[in-house]
Chains A and B, each alone.
Chain A
Amino acid sequence: MLAAVKAGDIFEVVWVSLAAGVFVSVAFSFVVLGMARSAEAARGGRGSVAIAYAGLALLAFAAFAWAVGFGVHSMLSKD
């Protein structure tokens, strides 16, 4: 019976899911980190540092949004 299950499929599911799950978590964590540090730097009057962290947050958010967009695309392209 187990022969009916392709081991390759399971392996692919495992690594793709692991990679996607970790990517999304890490990307959004950098959004949170960038926003928090940017706000802190802005309060301390360190404008350039605030801009740099805001840039990090923006980049990380772009990566997160790309992952979400890819998820929606996968959802819609099932037919």
Chain B
Amino acid sequence: MGTELVLWIVVATALAFDFTNGFHDTANAVATSISTRAMAPRVAVALAAVLNFVGAFLSLEVAATIASGIVDANLVSLPIVFAGLIGAIAWNLATWYFGLPSSSSHALIGGVVGAAFAAEGSKAVFGDGLMEKVMIPALVAPVLALITAGTGILLCYRIVGRQHPGAVSRGFRLGQIVSGSLFSLSHGTNDAQKTMGIIALALIASGHLDTGADPPTWVVVSAATAIALGTYVGGWRIIRTMGSRIIKMDPAQGFAAQSVGAAVILSASHVGFPLSTTHVISGAVMGAGAAKRISAVRWGVAGNIVVAWVLTLPAAAVVGAVTYAVTRLFGDGAAGPVVVSAVLLAALGWVFGRRVAGGRTLTAEG
């Protein structure tokens, strides 16, 4: 009974993480399109939500379970996964509150690493894996996207420079619909898999699923639905940061940032070196702005974003470790996860209640 309860708490927490992953990363796909008025905001997030939902069904690469090669899979238990998810959700909510784009994948890895470290000590964490799968890609992604988008926008301006601005803007806005759609589809195929992987891992650990089996249909549908709903809710604070606070972009810059971002992510994925969509699109937006004029980029905002990236892994790890330690205070059973979940839900309810009482709803636009 205890294991069953922990299992369903982990499933619910994984879906909650999936939801935050969706609304946190909406900006990656839609911010530039909204900023350049290629699409109306609600249309943009609705399209992104549908494509995230579809994307979740297109690939079932559940083998890419979270933190594989970074923590010792043999030592990962349901309480560790639960604590890791709480660490990731906490970081996603904190960065959303401050309107800072940061990697949900790195937050999840950080949460699991912290919980595993608290549970099993340093032997549970592979330093080489962290370096190879988190730190090096985190350095490569934004710099590569910045240089590529900078080169791309300079060539765009060179090619269309003497044309009528109205025709050029209309053309690039159409292009943004394609590049934004590609981005959303790619996000669905990548990020919904993380949640499916976590739920599959929990089902295997509790004896409900055979090792190596495909996830049940309800797992795929629920993960796809959670990420699509999160995307539709839209992380408007991050959309504002990405779309208009880093640079004031024209449609050509928006197209260059978005198409280069999609090209970089898919090329890296094709080569087998997945990069964070958040890091790539942020770098691409900065590159598209800096190539036009270095001072066009608000480097203070860019600096805050970079600080958030640096803090993502350690901050999520600390929350994951503390959550694990708290759950252990209540023993091996379901009591710890139940108490932690109840306290967090109560805290969220309190925040929501205060905002409603103050005349503001807890939407991302708030």
Residues of A with Cβ closer than 8 Å to B? 1-2, 4-5, 9-10, 12-14, 16-26, 28-33, 35-37, 39-40, 64, 67-68, 71-72, 74-76, 78-79
Selected contact of A32 from candidates B136, B160, B185, CB within 8 Å: B160
Contacts of B307 in A (CB 8 A): none
Closest B-chain residue to A70, C-beta based?
A: B266
Which one, B166-174, B311-319, B341-349, is touching chain A? B166-174
Contacts of A22 in B (CB 8 A): 148, 151-152, 155, 260
> Is B262 among interface residues, defined by CB-CB distance under 8 A?
yes
- Inter-chain contact A72/B182, CB cutoff 8 Å: yes
Selected contact of B273 from candidates A10, A28, A36, CB within 8 Å: A10
- Inter-chain contact B58/A75, CB cutoff 8 Å: yes
Known: A25-B153, A32-B167, A68-B182. A74 touches B266 (CB 8 A): yes
Which of A2, A24, A35 has most chain B Cβ within 10 Å?
Answer: A24
- Inter-chain contact B264/A21, CB cutoff 8 Å: yes
- Inter-chain contact B259/A21, CB cutoff 8 Å: yes
- Inter-chain contact B59/A76, CB cutoff 8 Å: yes
- Inter-chain contact A36/B189, CB cutoff 8 Å: no
Known: A14-B144, A75-B186. A21 touches B168 (CB 8 A): no
Contacts of B58 in A (CB 8 A): 75-76
- Inter-chain contact A39/B167, CB cutoff 8 Å: yes
Contacts of B160 in A (CB 8 A): 29, 32-33, 36
Selected contact of B263 from candidates A9, A10, A24, A78, CB within 8 Å: A24
- Inter-chain contact A24/B270, CB cutoff 8 Å: no
Known: A29-B155, A71-B266. A13 touches B273 (CB 8 A): yes
- Inter-chain contact B256/A75, CB cutoff 8 Å: no
- Inter-chain contact A74/B270, CB cutoff 8 Å: yes
Contacts of A67 in B (CB 8 A): 263
CA distance A21 to B128 in the complex (A): 30
The secondary-structure label for the interface of chain A is: helix
Known: A5-B136, A10-B273, A36-B163. A24 touches B259 (CB 8 A): yes
> Is B296 among interface residues, defined by CB-CB distance under 8 A?
no
> Is B120 among interface residues, defined by CB-CB distance under 8 A?
no
Which chain B residues (179-220) contact chain A, with CB distance < 8 Å?
179, 182, 185-186, 189
A26 to chain B, nearest CB (A): 5
- Inter-chain contact A75/B155, CB cutoff 8 Å: no
> Is B178 among interface residues, defined by CB-CB distance under 8 A?
yes
B60 to chain A, nearest CB (A): 7
Pairs A–B under 8 Å by Cβ, sample size 15: A4-B129, A13-B144, A17-B263, A19-B267, A20-B263, A21-B151, A22-B155, A28-B156, A28-B171, A29-B155, A29-B159, A32-B163, A33-B159, A76-B189, A79-B59
Given contacts A22-B151, A24-B260, A74-B270, 8 further A-B contacts (CB under 8 A): A13-B275, A18-B151, A23-B263, A26-B155, A33-B159, A39-B167, A64-B178, A79-B61
